Each structure stands twice: as structure tokens, then as C-alpha cells.
Structure 1
Amino acid sequence: MWRALTFAALTLAAASADAQTVVARSGEHAGFSRLVMRLPAGAPWSLRQSGQSAQVVIDTPTVVFDTSRVFDLIPRTRLQSVSQAGPGQPLQLQLGCNCDVSSFVQKDGYLVVDIADGTPGADQPLTAGSPLPLLPGNINSTGYRFNLAARAAADARAALDLAGVTSRSTTGADQVQRLPVAVADTPSAIQLPLDLTRTPRAEVPAAPVEEARVAVETATEPKPVPVQVDTDMLLDLSETERAATVNESEQRLLQQISRATNQGLLELVGVEVHDGTDGHVLDPLSGRDRPLNPLDQIAVTSSVDRESGLIARRSDTSGQPTHCLPSRQLAVHAWGTDEPFADQISPLRADLVREFDDVDPEAVLTLARAYLFFGFGAEAQAILRMMPSGAAEHDDAVALTAMGAVLDGQPMEVNHTFAGQQVCDSEVALWAALADGTIKKNAKTDAIQQAFAKLPPHLRVQVGPRISTLFAKAGDPHLAGAALRSVDRTGVEHVPEINLAEAEIARLEGDVETVAQELTDEVAERTENAPRALIELIDLSFAERSALSPDVPDLAASYEVENRDSPLGADLRRAVVAALALTGEFHDSFSELEALSRRDGPAARTAALEPLLTLLSERADDVTFLQYALVIAANGTTAEVAPVADIVAERLLDLGFAQQAQSILKKLAMEPGNTKRRLILAKAALAMDKPHSALVELMGLSGSAANKLRAEALWRNGEYARAGEYLLEEEEKDAATRGFWHSEDRDTLATMDADDTEQFGGVARVTTQIEETAKEPTGLPPLAHARALVESSEGTRGGIADLLQKVTPQADPSDDGS
């Protein structure tokens, strides 16, 4: 018994190991749905269609189709269900329309099945596989053109069977029926006789394994040897033989066209015929008064496209970007009426569940649309979660879910459903703008306005202020005002967020008083937007350095308690720190800063420090300022001190803390273009008696402030002449004269105007005169020499007296007069 069980287990394991799983993937395109699956190596395949059902057959007894993710990316519209009875059985496709099913094989072994929208009422059987010859779809038509559409292949096969029956029931050359043939790839149709009374031949041998295998009905006769066509030979043949020869050439041409189609190199385009037949055939002129462009039939596909199943198709000529959602999915204005809410919702809720307790997907979508029409986004999202398994990713359901999130103001992901669609010239541009939270530069503002105007009045009231705010932030007051006027025309008195929208427009126009008034009104109304308005009011007060009511910090703290765990909580905590600093409560503000740092982290601390340290440097007394600024100078990180380094360092320098001021600035990377910061560093170096360091900081700088600092550094180095040159350049002539006097530059002093110099100009001149008077006389007799010395002594004494009179004594700053 155990041997039998072991043998059975091994047999089942071997069968499981031999099973070949074919994973079916899907993709949705404009006008068709696509299935892609990799064929087992060397496996023949075929595709058959009958009405609204089709079969994909892979001639391998162990093949198993994995269809678990087929409906993740496509709706259940064209393709309703897929199933397989067991290993090796065909894949059954149940269609939801009179669709055209076509297929081809990529060179890398992928079988592609396209389910395209067909002609209403079309219900034709189809068998596809390797390249198939195509014959006329209407045996009674007066002319024939190559029909390259998928449906026409079935028509051609039916005509072929009919021709075979006719050929068996008739005899003689006189009963041969001939139809003219128009070759589609020539500018004008070439009329050739075509014999349809011959018995159908066997199919062409199979194409290479990597492309496809032939799957057709059993032929009655073997295929004759192909005949090389020659014009002279055709003239010598009889009419019947000439028709057979032309048919051989025709079949070879059609086989090559079908082979290129299976490889994805050709896309067969159907256009209307003009000879009274119905169906889609290829017309060289197609009514456009120009020859058919052969490049229109080419589709280029990359390896990445093949792997993902998104095979290239002809570009859409409508001008609308292909990623834009259609307006029908977003037509919220058409999803409800003026009837009461209960009268519209109740019947829709009753239709949710069908017999056997299964949920109707269409009823779910209809009810979700009704909720969105009334502005209930969360309710619509909850209903959409009832979608049956496999239909949750329905295109309509995804769009409706995103619309619900937008209506309720929920935060959106970066790659949301409407991402990148503000450029669309349709209703989706409005929802994309609301989801993005900004109006982009390439947005279609006209489309946004038109979509907004179509909304029902209650939805315009709901989203109107948000649209107005977005336009105002984008710098367009005209469109912002137009949105608000559209809201005003609804007649609704209490519009949410209206004050915020009007404040944003006033901010754009530079009317600060109106902005403050609108924000104050919003806070006073205590609406759900009051916390956000309070934050903006505090930020405005800091930007304008305006006074703030003493009760604002307490109000902000109360809102912070209510919204502590919400996304608004961090902004409120930052606003509390700024509000306390604006009211002069710096000790409490730093206490709140520590609590914020522990809860929200370093990034939030850095954002809150900027207004706090700015106000501390501008408004705090010296002791309070030094109490916190010295700690920041010693322990502050680069990110914390970067926004306020200059203003804090300047005040530290003014208070005599040059080393601490320098340490703050040294935390930052030296920026050659930051002139202000380099001037502060030069001042700090001079304060620490480091003139050489100051000169290094001033290298390359120009301007009045730099020249004065440079002159001071040179003076401390004893380079009085160079210092005088920089002072003279800045019109500091008296100070420049002093420098030239110290450097004993008499020539420069002689060129300076006496009226332009005050104290040190006169000193320089008296000093020069004393030097000339004090010179010892030479070459005089003794008595005359003695007399000259006496006169020189008197003159020198008088010059010194004049010099002392010109020098004004400076008061000692430390002398208090006692």
C-alpha cells in the first residue's frame, strides 16, 4: 500500500513539475484592450472567435494560464471574464461586446491578443494563427480590394468555403466566376481576374516557430508548387490558368503582409469603401484626394514595451495628450439632479446588491457618483471599497476615488491619478489643479475655468475659494477674482474659506491691512479654517513686524491642543513660538521651542528658530539677548544659525563680543558673494586687534564701508599713507590729512585745499612752518648768526603756540568730571 502511495505522490510531483505556467498580463489602450503572454518554446498556438466568445489554444498538454492579475489594469467592458477548465485546455475569453479579436507574436516569444471595439451588430467567427490568405468578404460584390482587418479574414474564409461548394456543383470553363482585384499598395487599382471556383488548397507551411504555427481547417487538396509570374507567360496561358497564377502571387503577397502583422511591424488600418460594400477595407485614396501614406501602417516597438505588454500603436491625431482622462469619467455635473438628497440616494443604495448577495459594480459606481455630486468625498470612497474583487482598479473607480479625496481636501500622493494632467484641455485640468495644490505654469487655465463653471452651485461653493486661492498664489488676480464672483452668484451667504481666498487676493495686491482684517475675521468666526487663518495672521505680523494682541499666543496654544496629532499641529506649535516672541515673552518662547524640538525634530526646530532669534536680536534687552545668543553661538548647528547669523553676529559685535560673533559666522561656508557677512568678519577681526585678518576678509571688496574698514586696518598696521589714500577716496579729507601728516608726505599735503581740511590740515601747515623756522642759519657772521638764532627761537615758540591752539583737546570718555 505504501509503495502505491509513494508512486502516486511521485507521479503527481512529476506532473506538477512538468506543468508550464503562462502568465497573462493586460493593458488598456484607447479603443482596445490587450492581453500579453509568453508562449512556451516551440509551442504551436491558435486563436478562435465565435460571437462574443474566443479561445486561445496553446498545443501543450501541461500548459496552465495564470489569469489572477488580468483585471488589475483593464476594466470588465470589452473582456468580461477569462477561465481555463484544466491544464492543457484552451483559455476561454468571454467578451462584453461585438469586439474584433486579433493577435500577433513578437520575436521574443510574446503572444499579443488585442480586443478592439467592433462594428455594432458584427458577430463573425474568427480563427487565427499563422499567416492566412485573405479572400473577398462578399461573393456578390462587383469589385474586390484587399481587406486587411481582422473581421475580413473571417468573411474571406466564408467566401472561400462558398467558392469550394460552388466549384463542386458546376462544370466547364463558362461557369467560372471572376472578380476584379484592386491591389492596395499601388496608387491606382490594377484589375486582375480572380477565380473563385477552384477547390480550396491546403495552408502554407508554418512560419518559424518563434513567430507562430498555422491553425486552420483541414484542406482538401495539397498546395501546388508556386509559379514564377511573368507577363509574357501570362499572355500565353489560358484564362483559367492565368487566374490560378495570379491567385498564387496574391496569396504570397498576403502571406508576407500577414507575417509582418504577426511580427508587429504593420498595423492594418481600416477605412470606408466606396463601392457600396460594408465593412472596413484598405482604400488607396480613402476619400482624402491623396495616396495612402505607407508609413501610417508602421508601428515601432521597443523591448521595454514588449516586456510590459504596451505595444506601440499609431499616434492619436486628436491633439489631446494620451494620458488625459476622458471628460465622461469626471462629468460630476451630470451625476445628479435638483431632487432631494434622500430621494436620489435611497434607490441607488437599494440597487447595490443583486441576487445571490453579489454586489453590482455598476450600481457601486453610480452611487459613488451621486455622493460626489453632493460633495461627500469620504462616503464615495467608502462605497467604492465595496467593488467586487478584480474590479477595484476599474478606471472609473480609480478616478472617482481620487475625486473623493480632492473634495475632502485629503493629502494626495505625488503620483496621484490626476498627476501631470493640468495640460489637458478638458475637465480633468480642474481636478489636477486641486490635487496638486497649485496652478502650474503650463496649466490650461481656460479648461479649469470652464470645468469650474460646469459644477453644480453647491460644489462651486465648496471648491471655489480653493480655486481662487490657487490662482492668487499663481499670480493671477483676475482669475482669482472671477472664481469668487462665480461663488457669489450662487447666493450662498456662508461660504467656507472665503476669507482666506480674499486675503490671498489682497496679499497679491499688496494690501496688508485687508489681509490682516480678512484673517482676523476668519479667526473670529471660529470656523474649521480658523487655525490656518491664525497661523497666517501670526506669520503676517512677523513679516510686517506689527503688534500682536496679547491673547493670540493663548488662542494658538488652545488650537494646538485640539489639533496636536493632526498635520496642522506642527504648524500651530511653530506659530505659538513666534507669537510669544512677538509679544516679548522670550523666556516662554524658548520653553515652547524646547517642547517643539522634542516632539517634531530638528527640522521643525530650525524653522521655529528663525523668527525667534530675529525678534530676539531686534527687540530683546541686552541681558536677555546675551543669555540665549551666546548659547546659540557656542552650540547652534549650521542649519539653525544660517538664516539669522548676520543679525545675531552684528548685535554681538556691537555689545563687544567679537569672538562669539566670529564663531557664529565661521559655522557657515564662506560665500564670496556675501559682502555683508565678510564686512562683519572684518569688523570682528579689528575688534580683536587683528588688522591682517581684517585685510584678508576685505580682499576683493569695494565700496565705502569696505574702504573705511580697510583704512582702519592699514592705520593699525602703521601704513598711514595708504590709509590716507582710502580715506581721501571716501571724502574723509581731514582724516586723510592726518594720515599724510603722520607719514610726513609733504608733497600730498601741499596739494590739498586748506578750506577742505579742518583740524589736521592746519596742524600740518603749522608743523611745516615750524620746521622751516627752526632751521639753523648758515654762512652768517657770528653776531648775525646769534641774532638769527634768537629770531628762529622766537618763531618756533610762536609756531608751537599756534599748533597748540589748533589742536582741540579730546575729552576722556572715562572722565566723569569729578
Structure 2
Amino acid sequence: MRQAVALMAILIVAVPAQAETIVARSGEHDGFTRLVMRLPENANWSLSQAGKSATLQIDDPAAVFDTSQVFSRIPRTRVQSLQQSGTGNPLRIQLGCNCEIKSYVQKDGYLVIDVRDGKDEKPYTSTSGVLPLGTLPGGSEYRFNLSPQQVQKARMGLDLAAAFAGRTASAGNALQTALPQQVENPEPEAQPAVVLPVAGVNLSQTEDQNLSELVLPTVDLLLDMDETARAAAVNASEQRLLQQIGRATNQGLLDLVMTEVGEGSAPMMVSPLTTQDRPMNPLDHLAVTTAVDREMGLMPQQTQNNMAPNLCINPRELAVYNWGGEESFADQIGPLRSALFKEFDHVDLDNVLSLAKTYLYFGFGAEARTMLDMLPPGDTRVDKLSAMAVLLDGGHLPITHPFAGQQACDGDAAFWAALADGALKNNANAEAIQQTLARMPVHLRVHLGPEISTLFAKSGDQHMASASLRSVNRTGVEEVPDINLAQAAIADMAGDTDTVAEELKEELAERTENAPQALIDLIALSYKERKALSPDLPELVASYELEIRDSELGSDLRLAEVMALSLTGNFTEAFVALGQLSERDGPVAYATAVEPVLTLLTERADDVTFLQYGLIFAEEASATEAVPVADIMTRRLLDLGFSQQAQSMLMKMALEPKDETRRLMMAEAALGMDLPHRALVELMGLDGPEANKLRAQALWRNGEFGRAGEYFLAEEEVDAAARGFWHSEDLEAITSDEGGQFSQVAEVTAQLDEQAQEPEDMPPLAHARALVESSVGTRNRIEALLQGVTPMETDSE
């Protein structure tokens, strides 16, 4: 028995302790590099920095740092190397810049180390824990950093200058440089105190009696020591204080901040939690923040990049690129499926979750959802993973999806939120989306990259759209689905319609699953650019519509068919297809489709075809249907002389804001229906050549020839103006300078008036002879007058 016990003891001593592996992960962000590692349970740690090197010590003799994957995600700019000499030894971090290290521990036990870009000529390093503590220049006493009241109560009026007599002159010089000039010769009662505002409480202003009771025994003990022992005790206390301050700084609980008071003045230390800009005591520069403050978002001097919404999903829950490896699909799925059921046919829920994640890694959304259905209801992970599975299969999520409102997050949540929303929001984190796409494995990058590029293109970000496509092209995969649609979207942003058409035709020729969408986009582009369309495309659209009429693209294909028939000039078939679309998709779809049909009918159809459908539409169309095409249809109806139908079209736009063009067309329609007064009302307040001509015509219809002549003359219509003046018998207003025909008419008329006068004071025979000669001359001049006058457009007869 004794031999067995001895053998067991020897084996226990001989077996080495199992190593505790700490995996370090990394991430590159704007302005800082982040290192994250899981700490052993209940392990103490410390982080110190000296220049361009830092040391992380874990109080665990079996700790081994795994840094093999760190530089696969980050460049060697801020962090150059990570080294550990042996098990249990500290981790040496070599920096490549004058960076500042921040660190804290999250709730889940992860240590976060941020290497931030620092500023030049910083007076202190926040992570080193070294403060310029010592005697003030010219001072005669050493005082603990308490308020004057506490100093008086603690009876600490000791002359401890000798305790620091052995300190080097360099320390004193550094202290003199760091402290402001106004405290060179402080009074004994006015010694500055270090203020540690914990959650807004200033210790220098409190009257806590427990503090004095705690300090008094220490002071009495120091009084009983000799000078050497007292100096050693003070040095030990200083070292412990520096160690605790350094540790609090490393954990993100304490910051050292400075601000400039004015040009040429010494820097003043200011607590970031204070609300007043006032000069502080030289050592009153320590701001303390508790872990509760940090979780509540009250960290002082925290950059905007770190202030991510608390509702953002943890990137580890969405890191699909970490859920698989380089092995084949069968090698990864097979073992998980074999271990799916335990003894007594019990389901291993952990393996179910692992298998679902592996399916997601390979892009099999339906299989992943089947696995997720085996998990018990209420599991918070199921909703997110199920949503990812739907997106990987190209499906659509409801508005209240798990990623709603997370496009602004700094992580993978922004990527999946953009895919779920189907469009990029104004506050979308484009960098986070692009970085998540770059981390995806090749097959997922090829699968999702074109869609992300299209989303960037639709949002107007050509740079990020092109970057997404370059990320896909770097995979080396030749056949990439949706690549033509993404390239067409980028070309559309650049205004290169020829390239857009080529990309869409190429996608259509490949007969992929995206061919219907490419066909829809090609027809829409042809309508927008008014380009010719191949005569066989309407039949191709009809065949796709017959095949997938009940899908999401069914209504779009029916609209594309109507547009294609109109573009090819088959208006009879187009209106038949328009009626079928109205019966199947409803009035809203009909109102959308009727605009391109009537637009192309007005622009391209002959007069008979236009009137065949246009007159019926003008009488029966609703306001919603008529508004988009009312202007162009009214113009052509007026040109063809259908004033009443033109006015009917304009009346359907009664609720629309009236512009000058519509008022002019309304006046023209009123003139066409012989309503001059209505035309004058429509023209009130309008100026310009077109308005003056219509106003002159309306006045002519009213018999106001003189006013009409004035408006014609203002628009340099000389013949029409002369005719108006002639009708108004204002022959003096007619000038012969322009040489118009009615100028000659006015001259002949004046001569007729002279010849038509009866001769006076003549014998009867001579009087008769004069009348005969006058009648012959008058008849000849009237004949010449009639031959010189041609009908005018303003003539209403």
C-alpha cells in the first residue's frame, strides 16, 4: 500500500502542469489597432509600457500566448511583433510608432488592448503609470495629496525633504518642468492636492472622518521612525501608489489629461469630468472612472469610433468566416453529423449549433435552418443565424429582422444589416461592411460580393462599389454570379449607358437565374434612353413571364412586356397587355405601366393611332393616371385641333401646381373652343411672346382690334398689327416703313376716302362727268386693294 501511494505521488510530481493557452486575435480600425484575448478565470494581469515596447503579465505560470493569427488581420504598422520567451513568461509587445496603449476587461472576461495613434511630445504616457511625484521646487515639506483640512486633522506637518535628498537632480528637474510656474513657492497651507473624482465625487472636498482615522495611525508610525526608515517607508508607499495608478490607467479607469490655458502659458491639468474651464492645481489632473461609468458610456476622452451603439450585435456571433476551415465540405460536415445524436438518441445541442454554423460557412442556408429548427425555442442565437441563412439563400427578411438599425455598427452587424435592408442607409458604416466582405472565405465573397457592390452603387458610392468588385476579382474565380449586374450598376453611375447595355445583354445571353432581371433592366434602359429594341424581345419577356408569373419578378416582367411592345411600335398589343396587367396586378400597377405606354404613343405613333387611344384616355383616365402624361398629350391634342379633349386633360391636373406652360395651353384650348374671355383670364399675370400673341388673338375675337394691334406690334408682327389698326380705322398708327401689305392697304384706303368726296361748285354737266370719273377710279383702286390682301391667321372668318 505504501509503495502504491509513493508511486502515485511520484507520477503527480512528474506530470507537468497543463498549459493554459491564451489565443490572441486582432483587428484593424481607423486610428487604432485592437488585440483581444480571453483571460484565465480569476487571473490577475498587468500591462506596462515603456516607449515603443509594452509588457503584458498574466499571473498564471501555465499561460501560453497563441499569436499565430494576429498578423493575418492587421499590418505591422502599430504592432510590429508579439513574443513570449516561455510558458508563464510575460508577452512582449513591440510597437512601430509612438502609440498609446489603452486596455480594459469586458464582462465576458476578454482583455481588450487598443494601440492608438499618439500625439507628439506628450508630457506623460498614460499606460506607464509614472507620475511626477516629489518635492515641489522651493518647498520645505512633503505632504500627502490631501486637502489642507485633512492635513491639519492628520497632523502631517512633517519636514520630509530629507527623505528625498538622495533622489537625483534629474527627477527634480523633470518635476519642475512638468508643474506650472505659479506654484514655485507655495505656502505651507496651500499645498496642491491630487483630486480623484470617482463618479463625480471630489475627495478634496469631502469631510469623511474615516479617512482621517485611517491616516492617523500611519502618520504616528512615521513619526516614530528614524530618518532612513521613514524615507524607505515613503519610497515604498510611493511605489505602491504608482503601481496602483498604472494598473488603473491600463484598465481604462484613469486618464491623465492636459489642456492649454493660453498662448505662452504653462499647461493646466483638467479633469475631463469637470464642467468648468478653470485653472486647476498642478497635481489636480487625475480623472477616475469606474467600470459602471464605462459601461454607461461615460468614458472621458473616448473617441467617436469607440462609442458604438450598445445595441450592436457582438461580431463574434456573426463571424461566419470563423465557422469553417480549409478542409473539404465532407471532412467538416461528416464528423459533426456523426456526432449529432448521443446515446438513447438524444440530440447533442452543441453539435447541432456547430453543424448549423458550418452549413452557413459553406453557404447552405436551407440546411442550416433545418438544423436550427432542432434547437429549443427561445434560444437567442436562433433568430440571428436563421436570418443569416435566409440572406445566404437570396431571400428577404421582414422589416423587424434581427439586424434592424445596425448599419452604423462597427463590425459584422453592419454587413448583415445592409443585406437584410436591401439598401444602404445614410449612416451606414461603409468601412465595416467592406472589411467584413474582405474577411469572408472565397466562396462567400464570390456569392455576396456582387450584391454588396450593387448596394453601394445604388447608394451613390462608386468608390466602395468598385472596391467590393475588386475584392471579388482577387479571388481568381472566373464565373461569378451577378457580376454583370454589379458592373452594370457601376457603369450606370458613371453615365456609360453603352457599357450598361453590353453588361445586361451579356447576362441575358448567359441564361442565368438573373436573366429575367437583366431583361427588365435592359428594357427600362431602352425606354429611358429612347433606344431601339430588338423585335423578338417582347416574346422573350412573355416567355419569362409565363414561367415565373407567380414569383416576385412576375409584376415587373408584365410591366416590361408592355414597355417592350410600345418600344417596338406594337401599340395594339401593348394596350391588350396593359388591360391584362390591370386585371392581374390592380390599379396601382396599371397607373405605373400606363405612363410609358402613353408617352411612347404620343411621341412615336401616327395621328390616327394616337387619336384612337388618346381621345378615349383623355375622357376616361383618372387624375392619377393622367398627371404623368398630361403635358405632352395636351400639346399634341392642341396641335391636332382637339381643344375640348386637351382642356379635359388639363382639368385632370387641377390639384397640381399650375405652371406657365399649362396656363398657356389652357388659354390656347379656350381660344380653340371660342372662349376669348376665358383665355384672357388664364393669361392674367403672364408675360412673354407666347402670352402676348395669345392675348392679341383673344382681343381680336372680342373685336378689340386696336389693342390686339398693339400686342402684335410689340411682338414685331407688323402685318397683323397693321390689319388690327386698319380694322379699328386708326390709319395714322400704320407706318409704311416696314413695307407690309396692310401698309399699302392703308394708303389705298386714304386715297379712296379722298376720291369718294363729291365735287362741289361745278356746272351740272361737269359735275356728272366728275362723278363718273371718280366712280371708275374708285372701282379700280378697290380691285387693286382686294388683289393685294391675303388671308391672315388671325382672321376669324
TM-score bracket relative to the smaller structure = 0.5 to 0.7
Q: Which residue of 2 aligns with 1:630?
A: 615
2:752 matched to 1:770? Answer: yes
1:530 CA drift (Å): 0.4
Equivalent AA in structure 1 for residue 745 of structure 2: V
**CA 768–454 in structure 1, closer or farther in 2 if over 3 Å, else same:** farther
Pick the aligned partner of 1:680 from 656, 659, 665: 665
Find the aligned partners of 2:377 and 2:311 in 1 and give their Cα distance: 26
In the superposition, relative to structure 1, how do residues 422 and 291 fare at CA in structure 2: closer, same or farther (>3 Å)? closer
Deviation at residue 338 of structure 1 after TM alignment: 1.7
SS of the counterpart of 1:187?
helix
Where does residue 603 of structure 1 map in the other structure?
Answer: 588
1:584-625 per-residue CA deviation (whole Å, 9 max, x = no partner) reads 332322222222222211111111211222222333344433
Q: Which residue of 1 aligns with 2:386?
A: 401
Secondary structure (helix, strand or coil) at the match of 1:679 reads helix
Residue pair 2:601, 2:610 contacting (<8 A) in 1 also:
yes
Instruction: Give me the whole-angstrom Cα distance separating, in 1, the residues matched to 2:211 and 2:778.
Output: 138
For 2:447, the equivalent position in structure 1 comes to 462
Residue identity matched to 1:499: N
Partner of 1:253: none
What is the CA–CA distance in structure 1 between the aligned matches of 2:437 and 2:317, rounded to whole Å? 15
Aligned mates of 2:665, 2:613 — CA distance in 1: 20
Report how far residue 568 of structure 1 moved: 0.8
Q: 1:187 is aligned with what amino acid?
A: S
AA in 2 matched with 1:764? A
5+ long unaligned stretches in structure 2: 1-40, 43-105, 111-143, 147-195, 221-239, 258-269, 276-286
In structure 1, the residue matched to 2:233 is: none
Match among 578, 585, 602 for residue 593 of structure 1:
578
Query: Are 1:371 and 2:364 counterparts?
Result: no
> 1:720-735 residue pairs with structure 2 within 5 A?
720-735=705-720
Q: Could you say if the C-alpha distance between residues 720 and 486 of structure 1 is closer, same or farther in structure 2, counting changes exceeding 3 Å?
A: same
Pairing of 1:417-496 with structure 2 (within 5 A) = 417-496=402-481
Match of 2:789 in 1: 807
Aligned length: 553
The alignment partner of 2:203 has SS state of: coil
Q: Using a 3 Å threshold, how does the CA distance of structure 1 residues 735 and 390 change in structure 2: closer, same or farther? A: same
Change in CA separation of 1:769 and 1:351 when aligned onto 2, cut-off 3 Å: farther
Give distance in 1, aligned partners of 2:640 and 2:739.
33
Q: Give the Cα–Cα distance (whole angstroms) in 2 for the partners of residues 487 and 766 of structure 1.
A: 88
Alignment counterpart, residue 334 of structure 2, candidates 330, 346, 361:
346
8 Å contact kept, 2:452–2:465: yes
Q: What is the one-letter code of the residue matched to 1:761?
A: S
In the superposition, relative to structure 1, how do residues 276 and 521 fare at CA in structure 2: closer, same or farther (>3 Å)? closer
Q: C-alpha distance in 2, partners of 1:774/1:288?
A: 115
Q: Over residues 55-101 of structure 1, what are the superposed CA-to-partner deviations in whole Å (9 max), with x where a residue is unaligned?
A: xxxxxxxxxxxxxxxxxxxxxxxxxxxxxxxxxxxxxxxxxxxxxxx
The answer to whether residue 491 in structure 2 is matched with residue 506 in structure 1 is: yes
- Measured after TM superposition, the shift of residue 345 of structure 1 is 1.8
Pick closer, same or farther for the CA change 1:287–1:735 going to 2, 3 Å: closer
Q: Relative to structure 1, is the Cα distance of residues 288 and 398 closer, same or farther in structure 2, using a 3 angstrom cutoff?
A: farther
| 1:132-174 residue CA offsets vs partner (Å, 9 max, x unmatched) | xxxxxxxxxxx9x9xxxxxxxxxxxxxxxxxxxxxxxxxxxxx
Q: Are residues 493 and 275 of structure 1, via their aligned partners in 2, closer, same or farther at CA, if it must alter by over 3 Å?
A: closer
1:716 to 667, 684, 701: 701
User: How has the CA–CA distance of structure 1 residues 406 and 701 changed in structure 2, closer, same or farther, with 3 Å as cutoff?
Assistant: farther
CA distance in 1, matches of 2:324, 2:734: 95
Correspondence 1:387 to 2:382: no
Which residue identity lines up with residue 404 of structure 1 in the other structure?
A
Matches within 5 A, 1:310-321: 313-315=296-298, 317=302, 318-321=306-309
State how far apart, in whole Å, the 1-side matches of 2:210 and 2:469 are. Answer: 73
Q: CA deviation at 1:431?
A: 2.4
2:204 is paired with a residue whose SS is coil
Counterpart for residue 669 of structure 1: 654
**For residues 365-387 of structure 1, what are the alpha-carbon distances to aligned partners after superposition, in whole Å with 9 as ceiling and x for unaligned?**
33333222222233323322222
Normalised by the length of structure 1, the TM-score is 0.60
Distance 1:807 1:191, change over 3 A: closer
1:187 aligns with 2:212: no
Supply the distance in 2 between the matched residues of 1:194 and 1:518 (Cα, whole angstroms).
78
Q: 1:787–1:545: structure 2 CA closer, same or farther, 3 Å change rule?
A: same
Question: SS at 2:532's partner residue?
Answer: coil
Match for residue 760 of structure 1?
742
Q: CA RMSD in A?
A: 4.3
Q: Distance in 2 between matches of 1:336 and 1:489?
A: 21
Deviation at 1:292, TM superposition (A): 9.0
Q: Partner amino acid for 2:523?
A: I
Conserved? CA contact 2:484–2:503, under 8 Å: yes
Shift in Å at residue 332 of structure 1? 2.5
Contact 1:737 1:757 (C-alpha < 8 Å) held by counterparts: no
Match of 2:318 among 330, 347, 353: 330
1:564/1:424 CA distance change after superposition, 3 Å: same
Q: Which position in structure 1 is the counterpart of 2:37?
A: none
| Residues 492-501 or 780-789, more deviating | 780-789
State yes or no: 1:645 paired with 2:630: yes
1:775/1:429 CA distance change after superposition, 3 Å: farther
Q: What is the CA-CA distance between 1:442 and the residue it aligns to?
A: 3.0
TM-fit CA distance, 1:294: 8.6
SS in structure 1 opposite 2:325? coil
CA offsets per residue over residues 338-393 of structure 1, 9 Å max, x none?
Answer: 211111122233444455655455434333332222222333233222222331x2
Q: Please state how far the C-alpha of 1:805 moved relative to its aligned partner.
A: 4.3
1:564 is displaced (CA, Å) by 1.4
Structure 2: how far apart are the matches of 1:657 and 1:191?
97
Shift of 1:779: 8.7
Q: Quick one: which amino acid aligns to residue 747 of structure 2?
A: R
Shift of 1:726: 2.4
Q: 1:528 aligns with which of 509, 513, 519?
A: 513
Deviation at 1:729, TM superposition (A): 2.6
Aligned-partner residue type, residue 334 of structure 1: N
More displaced 10-residue stretch of structure 1: 539-548 or 186-195:
186-195
Give the AA of the match of 2:451: R
CA distance in 1 between partners of 2:391 and 2:272 (Å): 47
Q: Distance in 2 between matches of 1:762 and 1:769?
A: 11
Larger relative contact order, structure 1 or 2 (CA cutoff 8 Å, min sep 6): 1
Call closer, same or farther: CA 1:351–1:723 in 2, change over 3 Å: farther
Alpha-carbon distance in 2 for matches of 1:332, 1:727: 78
Q: CA distance change for structure 1 residues 805 and 277 in 2, over 3 Å: closer, same or farther?
A: closer
Instruction: Say yes or no: does 1:537 pair with 2:525.
Output: no
C-alpha distance in 1 between matches for 2:344 and 2:288: 49
Verify the 8 A CA contact 1:658 1:687 in the aligned structure 2.
yes
Conserved 8 A contact 2:618-2:646: yes
Superposed CA deviations along residues 400-453 of structure 1, whole A, max 9, x for unmatched, are 222222222222322333233232333332222222222333333233222222
Alpha carbons 1:273, 1:286 under 8 Å: kept: no
CA–CA distance in structure 1, aligned partners of residues 461 and 245 of structure 2: 57
Provide the C-alpha distance between the structure 1 equivalents of 2:425 and 2:709, rounded to a whole number of angstroms: 57
- 1:508–1:728: structure 2 CA closer, same or farther, 3 Å change rule? farther
In structure 1, the residue corresponding to 2:734 is in which secondary structure? helix
Counterparts of 1:287 and 1:703, CA distance in 2: 72
